[in-house]
């Protein structure tokens, strides 16, 4: 509600929502002094050190650089140094480059309809300069001599000739020194360094022909060869093991004059979040959830819920079909015919995956399962955002592809390791009324006195209980139990720890390293003994006892990925606990003794188990007595 107007002696005295009085003086409209206007504009472009680095590297690439070196101190807040071997700035234009709306990349509004450069607004240098101290060294190829400029809060304070090589080096010191409000919202120096590392990784994947070097606190974090081969760049970002396992995609669409190419992982190589999948439109790194869905859908049904592929996808689209001017930090673009482009990406990924291994197909083995009522296969296929293709295992058109959500729901049909199509025959629809536990579908599932019957396919536990037969996914059930335990432990003082016989060296990317450095104390509390080892690895000496038999390399990487994001997933799940629980739990395919099954069931009874594991997979499927009676025509 708006505030009341009080009349005093004929004059209005307005109070606004916070109780302050709106004075006449305040209401005078005036143009802000340039330094204030600059700081406001800077807030848009430069949200954090990583955004400054992004703009400076974009400038280097727009200048045709073959080598870009980025160096930071204190997470970029102390110093950012970006050096390139590009064209350089003409000495006569050096001051102009720091003015707002000063650019060499656009001349008229018409140019906005076919942007070919990463920058085009002419705002970045002015914005960064307004909130830092800058030294510029630049030498344009056609000038005899270069120039160096020093700026304080946007004002040039010194200018000298400079006799360096062709190219540009910019030093940004004390970013946000005059915007203390922004400083409060930044992460720790290691957190910011991690973000910068991520930005540079994306540039490296977007420009495999450029050599990138990134140093933080004097230590080399990333260096790419600039060979022009995307796999070489991916090797530096994700390590050889992952990069060498990626498969190439390349597909062109005549009708949309577009091409998609790149490298993507098989369903076996995944990670716990989406940060491993990068998209580039005409070399510009962009975020686009519809594209992510289109690509992940191509993995259906082989991708486990909560797992995401790794890779880099380049889209080449005529610049006239892309609007780059729709987002303050240029992180999103608009594409004419976007549905056709999503389809192209989907098709390209699908075709490449089918080449390396036929994907299990959920539609085919329907008949053998038809005696099961309420099968997940009965569910209507959901629409894929932006695409409606048909594929079957041979790559020919055939069965319907299913939507993302449906894929997650149908997960019971695909076990952890075994993706054989015949598994679909054992599928139940966990959320259908006919197969819900007697407590009702919304109430948490609390098994009462379950009697172990046995194990099916070394994957599902079969148990008998009051309401009929229960099929329990041994991995997800165990995962759920451990999740609750770990969440409880995170708030406790210190968990037990088990020293490893042989310490494990875990190579990590910049983002993962930063996350581990930032959350070291927390991990120690959970039972990890971790230490930095060389420039891009950690050495693991002790782990929580329940993890001893896990794949520690993958567990630590996934834990770092979980820590690099927000602590809680959008649905409130504790990401770190979910990751650790997943790695510590028994696997599908592990044979269990009846005693082990009984123990697991007993622990399940003690746990407040909702029917889904932390990754959203069903824990239990129930076949009621009345359902059996109906199926056997006893009723």
- Site for ligand ADP, rule CB under 6 A: 55, 59-60, 62-63, 84, 86-89, 97, 102-105, 119-126, 168
Q: Which residues contact 272 (CB under 8 A, 6 or more apart)?
A: 306, 307, 308, 558, 561, 562, 575, 579, 582
- By beta-carbon proximity to ligand ADP, the closer residue of 65 and 421 is 65
Tell me the C-alpha distance between 378 and 481, whole Å: 30
Please, are residues 80 and 171 in contact by the beta-carbon 8 Å criterion?
yes
Tell me the C-alpha distance between 268 and 87, whole Å: 44
- Name the minimum Å distance from CB 517 to Mg ion: 31
Report H helices in 338-383: 338-356
Q: Could you count the other beta carbons within 10 Å of the beta carbon of residue 57?
A: 25
* DSSP per-residue string spanning 3-67: PPEEEETTEEEEE-TTS-EE-HHHH---PPPHHHHHHHHHHHH-SSHHHHHHHHHHHHHHTT-SE
- By beta-carbon proximity to ligand ADP, the closer residue of 68 and 272 is 68
Which residue has the closest beta carbon to ligand ADP?
A: 119
- Name the minimum Å distance from CB 142 to Mg ion: 21
Both tokens assigned to 619: 């824990």
Tokens 């005696």 map to which residue? Answer: 371
Residue 86 interacts with Mg ion (CB under 5 A): yes or no = no
- Name the minimum Å distance from CB 117 to ligand ADP: 7
The interface with Mg ion within residues 532-551 (CB under 5 A) comprises none
Q: Which of 59, 190, 413, 579 binds Mg ion (CB under 5 A)?
A: 59
Residue 264 interacts with Mg ion (CB under 5 A): yes or no = no
- By beta-carbon proximity to ligand ADP, the closer residue of 168 and 627 is 168
- Name the minimum Å distance from CB 213 to Mg ion: 20
Q: Which of 76, 86, 88, 119 binds Mg ion (CB under 5 A)?
A: 119
Q: From Mg ion, ligand ADP, none, which one binds at residue 84 (CB under 5 to 8 Å depending on kind)?
A: ligand ADP
Please, are residues 162 and 19 in contact by the beta-carbon 8 Å criterion?
no
Tokens 């309401």 map to which residue? Answer: 467
- Name the minimum Å distance from CB 334 to Mg ion: 20
- Name the minimum Å distance from CB 19 to Mg ion: 43
Residue 124 interacts with Mg ion (CB under 5 A): yes or no = yes
Which residue has the closest beta carbon to Mg ion?
A: 119
β-bridge pairing 219-223 and 21-22: unpaired
- By beta-carbon proximity to ligand ADP, the closer residue of 18 and 144 is 144
- By beta-carbon proximity to Mg ion, the closer residue of 58 and 321 is 58
- Name the minimum Å distance from CB 51 to Mg ion: 12
Q: From Mg ion, ligand ADP, none, which one binds at residue 458 (CB under 5 to 8 Å depending on kind)?
A: none
Q: CA nearest 291: which of 301, 310, 277, 302?
A: 277
Q: Which residues contact 55 (CB under 8 A, 6 or more apart)?
A: 45, 46, 119, 124, 125, 127, 128
- By beta-carbon proximity to Mg ion, the closer residue of 119 and 437 is 119
Interface residues with Mg ion (CB under 5 A) are: 59, 119, 124
């Amino acid at each position: 509600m708006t505030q009341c107007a009080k009349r005093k002696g004929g004059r209005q005295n307005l109070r606004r929502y916070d109780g302050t009085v709106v004075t006449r003086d305040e209401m005078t409209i005036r143009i802000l002094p340039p330094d204030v206007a600059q700081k406001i504009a800077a807030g848009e472009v430069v949200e954090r050190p990583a955004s400054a680095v992004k703009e400076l590297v974009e400038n280097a690439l727009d200048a045709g650089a073959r080598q870009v070196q980025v160096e930071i101190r204190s997470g970029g807040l102390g110093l950012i140094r970006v050096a390139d071997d590009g064209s350089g700035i003409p000495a006569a234009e050096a001051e102009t480059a720091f003015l707002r709306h000063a650019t060499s990349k656009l001349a008229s509004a018409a140019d906005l309809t076919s942007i070919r450069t990463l920058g085009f607004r002419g705002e970045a240098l002015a914005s960064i300069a307004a909130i830092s101290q800058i030294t510029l060294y630049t030498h344009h190829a056609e000038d005899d001599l270069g120039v160096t400029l020093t700026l304080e809060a946007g004002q040039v304070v010194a200018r000298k000739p400079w006799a360096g090589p062709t190219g540009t080096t910019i030093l940004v010191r004390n970013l946000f020194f005059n915007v203390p409000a922004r400083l409060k919202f930044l992460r720790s120096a290691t957190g910011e360094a991690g973000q910068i590392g991520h930005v540079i990784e994306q540039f490296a994947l977007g420009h495999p022909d450029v050599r990138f070097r990134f140093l933080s606190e004097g230590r080399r974090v990333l260096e790419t060869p600039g060979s022009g081969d995307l796999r070489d760049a991916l090797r530096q970002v994700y390590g050889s093991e992952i990069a060498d396992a990626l498969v190439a995609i390349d597909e062109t669409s005549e009708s949309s004059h577009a091409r998609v190419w790149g490298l993507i992982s098989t369903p076996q190589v995944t990670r716990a979040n989406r940060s491993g999948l990068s998209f580039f439109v005409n070399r510009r790194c962009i975020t686009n959830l519809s594209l992510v869905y289109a690509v992940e859908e191509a993995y259906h049904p082989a991708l486990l819920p909560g797992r995401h592929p790794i890779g880099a996808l380049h889209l080449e689209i005529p610049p006239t079909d892309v609007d780059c001017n729709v987002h303050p930090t240029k992180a999103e673009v608009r594409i004419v015919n976007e549905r056709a482009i999503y389809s192209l990406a989907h098709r390209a990924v699908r075709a490449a995956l089918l080449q390396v291994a036929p994907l299990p197909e959920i539609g085919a083995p329907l008949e053998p399962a038809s005696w099961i009522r309420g099968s997940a296969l009965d569910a209507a296929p959901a629409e894929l955002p932006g695409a409606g293709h048909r594929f079957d295992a041979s790559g020919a058109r055939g069965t319907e592809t299913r939507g993302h959500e449906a894929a997650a729901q149908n997960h019971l049909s695909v076990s952890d390791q075994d993706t054989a199509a015949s598994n679909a025959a054992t599928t139940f629809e966990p959320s259908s009324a006919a197969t819900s536990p007697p407590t009702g579908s919304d109430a948490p599932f609390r098994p009462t006195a379950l009697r172990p019957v046995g194990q099916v396919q070394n994957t599902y536990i079969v148990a008998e209980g009051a309401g009929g037969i229960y099929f329990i996914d041994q991995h997800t059930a165990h995962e759920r139990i451990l999740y609750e335990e770990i969440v409880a432990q995170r708030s406790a003082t210190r968990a037990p720890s088990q020293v490893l016989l042989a310490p494990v060296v875990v190579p990590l990317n910049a983002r993962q390293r930063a996350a581990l450095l930032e959350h070291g104390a927390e991990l120690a509390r959970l039972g990890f003994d971790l230490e930095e080892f060389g420039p891009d690895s950690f050495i693991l000496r002790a782990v929580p006892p329940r993890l001893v038999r896990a794949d520690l390399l993958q567990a630590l990487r996934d834990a770092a990925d979980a820590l690099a994001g927000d602590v809680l997933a959008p649905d409130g799940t504790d990401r770190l606990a979910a990751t650790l629980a997943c790695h510590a739990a028994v696997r599908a395919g592990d044979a269990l003794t009846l005693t082990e099954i009984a123990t697991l069931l007993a622990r399940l009874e003690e746990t407040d188990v909702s029917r889904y594991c932390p990754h959203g997979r069903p824990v239990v499927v129930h076949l009621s007595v009345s359902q059996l009676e109906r199926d056997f025509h006893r009723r």
